[in-house]
Amino acid sequence: MTPGIPAHVATLSSDLQLAATAAFDAGEIIRNGYDQLHEVKLKGIGDLVSEVDQNADRAALAILSDDPRQLPILSEELSPDLTTSSDNLWIVDPLDGTSAFLFKTGPHFSSVLIAQRREGETQLGIVYFPITGEWFYAEKGRGAFKNGERLLIDKTGDLQNGWVELNQYSDVQYESDFFVTMRNQLRTAKGAGLVTQNAPYSGVAMRIAESENLLVAAIHDNDAASVKQAAWDIAAPQCVLEEAGGVFFDADGDRVNPFVARPFVVARSKKIADEVLGLIREA
């Protein structure tokens, strides 16, 4: 395996090894660019992109293109066509947490997300934080891992004593009624012990999976009119968190479909997610 990738990855599938190599190469672009100045473009209010995103995308796609099956590749910057009808494809977010990266809000926000879908189901996912060197990965039915060690949620916690992170739109016009209600309900006597809104990042699901603090859930707003959480944001973290024992539930309490833009809850357990969604029913 490439130096820097956990040796444990080599004991799993060749597909996971290929994804890890792609994530590592993209991550090198991110890591080397962390303390540099960048050309920044505005895709929308608060929605930024830089040459690092695009170069990291090229690096990942160069590796995944070596897949002899020539699976289609859906990536945020270079091939973002969400209308793809393929059930078998690679999904890439070359730099999740771009704003956190550009504003340098902390080294633990930005990651590379790579997933593979087969027969309409996510079969593997990698979430690599190149600045901190953390690797989270999973294969469906084979468990989740962090840096070669098994990742398993053993403390579900509870909402009223827990911490909930909110991932909001920068452009308020797309903010959903679900998100507004949830933000208010979480700050009541039946809500969470702590409610925060940090720099947005899909890798927050990995912090939930670690169970190293009282972070028990995250709420992601989403609107089909301007998708905030697309398949490249969802597929890899969902695979890892679910294999670790956590859940991705939409506003109706159903398992999240990465290709359907709806607000959703990420939580350590179904119990926590049900408590969160119960706040909406009471509103």
Domain end marker among 88, 117, 151: 151
Query: Is position 102 within any domain?
Result: yes
The burial class, CB within 10 Å (0-12 / 13-18 / 19+), for 260 is middle
Averaged pLDDT for residues 19-42: 83
CA distances for 261 relative to 95, 133, 137, 176, angstroms:
20, 30, 24, 12
Query: Is position 195 within any domain?
Result: yes
Residue 253 contacts residue 282 (beta carbons within 8 Å):
no
Q: What is the pLDDT of residues 245-263, one digit of tens each?
A: 999 999 999 999 999 999 9
pLDDT at 49: 66
- pLDDT over 60 at 38, yes or no: no
Claim to verify: residue 167 and residue 146 sit in the same structural domain: no
- pLDDT over 70 at 131, yes or no: yes
pLDDT at 84: 60
Claim to verify: residue 32 and residue 124 sit in the same structural domain: yes
Averaged pLDDT for residues 115-141: 96
Q: What is the pLDDT of residues 84-107, one digit of tens each?
A: 656 899 999 999 998 888 888 899
- pLDDT over 60 at 264, yes or no: yes
Residue 160 contacts residue 192 (beta carbons within 8 Å):
yes
Cα separation, 19 vs 123, in Å, equals: 12
pLDDT at 43: 66
Averaged pLDDT for residues 183-209: 96
- pLDDT over 80 at 159, yes or no: yes
pTM score: 0.94
Q: How many domains does the chain have?
A: 2
Claim to verify: residue 184 and residue 131 sit in the same structural domain: no
pLDDT at 180: 97
Claim to verify: residue 16 and residue 142 sit in the same structural domain: yes
pLDDT, greater one: 39 or 193 = 193
Averaged pLDDT for residues 228-249: 97
Domain residues for the domain of 90 are: 7-151
